[in-house]
Amino acid sequence: MNITDAITQRHSCRAFVNKAVSHDQIERMLTAARHAPSGANTQPWQVAVVSGNTKKTLQQNIEHAFNAGETSKLDYQYYPVSWKAPYKKRRSDCGLQLYAALDITRGDADRRRAQWAANYRSFDAPVMLLFFIDPIMETGSYLDYGMFLQSIMLAAMEEGLATCAQAALAEYPQIVKQTLGYPDDQVLLCGMAIGYEDTDAAVNRYRTPREDVSVFTQFFD
């Protein structure tokens, strides 16, 4: 697979088959992704690879908090406090596509809630990655981290694996840190589901649109 095909074919996978992912596969992906650029070569990434019984315990702890109505709060502000065009519509359209693919109507609160809870299980993928950063690092390192995350997702495709980057996995950071033994002051950025795609699942067949280059680009000759 060439680089352009990998970039354009990558998508967020939300249904996985029951097939294990080996430590060797994860090791190869991270070995490749560690070459992502970072300012002054700071390499700010810290990765937790969670699977097996530890994953079951962690996702149960998070789901319990969610079902008990505990308020979620990320370690940082991910989305805008006030939305405006065109971002508000893109966000809304994205959600509508997801629920349409799952045949979940706007009024079906129970199924919507159940689908959101699936985030906390990494959609039952066999492996969940969680990404931490030292609290002294600033915005530039968050940019670096994005390149690292994309590198992992592209390396996963070479392994025949599918991924879904998930901000939702950072919604209960204290539970994650307590379960895994990370210091309270570490910043939990996000997570990622990794596994083999269920190609028969309707939720994996829709694709969100992308704007034409002309919409977001100006050329200055």
Please report the DSSP string for 175-190 in residue order. Answer: HHHHHHT--TTSEEEE
Joined tokens for residue 113: 């809630």
- In angstroms, the CA 112 to CA 95 distance is 11
CA 174, CA 169: separation in Å to the nearest integer? 11
CA 211 to CA 42: how far, in whole Å?
33
Ordered by start, the domain boundaries in the chain are: 3-78+120-200
- What is the topology classification, in CATH, of domain 3-78+120-200? NADH Oxidase (3.40.109)
Buried b (16+ CB within 10 A) or exposed e, 46-55: ebbbbbeeeb
Structure tokens at 198: 């269920």
* Residue 136: predicted pLDDT: 98
Q: Are 174 and 184 in contact (CB under 8 A)?
A: yes
In this predicted structure, the answer to whether residue 29 has a pLDDT above a threshold of 90 is yes
Rounded to the nearest angstrom, the gap between the alpha carbon of residue 11 and the centroid of all alpha carbons in its chain is: 11
pLDDT digits (tens, 9 = 90+) for 125-174: 999 999 999 999 999 999 999 999 999 999 999 999 999 999 999 999 99
Both tokens assigned to 184: 């309270």
Rounding to the nearest 10 degrees, give the CA dihedral for residues 4, 213, 161, 120: 160
Mean pLDDT of 30-51: 98
Give residue-wise pLDDT tens across range 93-119. 999 999 999 999 989 999 999 999 999
Say which residues have a Cβ less than 8 Å from residue 156's Cβ, sequence separation at least 6: 29, 162, 163, 194
**Mean pLDDT for the chain overall:** 97
Q: What is the pLDDT of residue 107?
A: 92
Predicted confidence (pLDDT) at residue 23 exceeds the cutoff of 90: yes
C-beta separation of 165 from 58 below 8 A: no
pLDDT value for 117: 96
Residue 1 confidence (pLDDT) above 90: no
How confident is the model over 59-87, as a mean pLDDT? 97
Sign of the Cα torsion 56, 61, 63, 64 reads positive
